[in-house]
Each structure stands twice: as structure tokens, then as C-alpha cells.
Amino acid sequence: MQLEFKGIKENPVNMLRRAGYAFQRNEGNEMSFIRPFSASGYPRFHMYVKITGADMAINIHLDQKKETYGNDTRHHGEYENEGLLAEEVKRLRMILED
């Protein structure tokens, strides 16, 4: 799910922290943030944020559990705008567009 916020006036890390997200790491020209549901770390909302000028683009998904590795890689994520992810997107818009 992708979100876009134009003309932000605040530090994006502070904005997302206010929304309950923790900065995880920089990945190239994007920042990774998470908002876990429990102490185990999963399930969690996970987003990649890219800043271009005063605009912030967010690519968010729901990680149900930690990725598994073997002969194939499985991510166990939800990317569609329904259920918990749809509710989180509404919550983010209310907080970040305020």
C-alpha cells in the first residue's frame, strides 16, 4: 500500500514517531520504520519511507511473522488495502495530515 504526503513541514522521523513507529534503519535512499503489535516483534506494520524535497512517500505493509529462508524466500506480508492495513492507513492519514 502506498501513501503520499505533499509539503511536509516537520522532520519525517518525528512525525512517524508520533504515530507510534520506530526507526529501524536506512536502506539506500529509504528509511525503514516498524510498529510491532507485541514484544516478540510480530505481527507488525513495516514501512519504507522516501523523502523527495518536502514530499514523503510511504510504502507500508503488514508483516504477519518473520520471513523464512530456505530454497525459497517467504515474507508473510499483507500488502492490500483491507483489514488491519486499511485501518492503519486511515489512522496514519489522520495523524500525519493534521
Cα distances (angstroms) measured from residue 94 to each of 3, 8, 33, 47, 97: 13, 14, 18, 17, 6
Dump pLDDT digits (tens) for 23-42.
999 999 999 999 998 888 88
For the chain, helix, strand, coil in percent to 5 are 20, 40, 40
DSSP E strands, 11-90 = 22-27, 30-36, 44-52, 55-63, 77-78
pLDDT tens-place values along the chain, 98 residues long: 899 999 999 999 999 999 999 999 999 999 999 999 888 888 999 999 999 999 999 999 998 877 655 545 455 555 567 788 999 999 999 999 86
Cα distances (angstroms) measured from residue 57 to each of 7, 51, 52, 94: 11, 6, 8, 16
- Topology of domain 2-96 in CATH is TATA-Binding Protein (3.30.310)
Please give the pLDDT value at position 41: 85
- Give kind and range of the element (H or E) at residue 90: helix 83-96
Q: Which residue in 22, 1, 5, 2 sits closest to 96, CA to CA?
A: 5
Q: Where are the domains of the chain?
A: 2-96
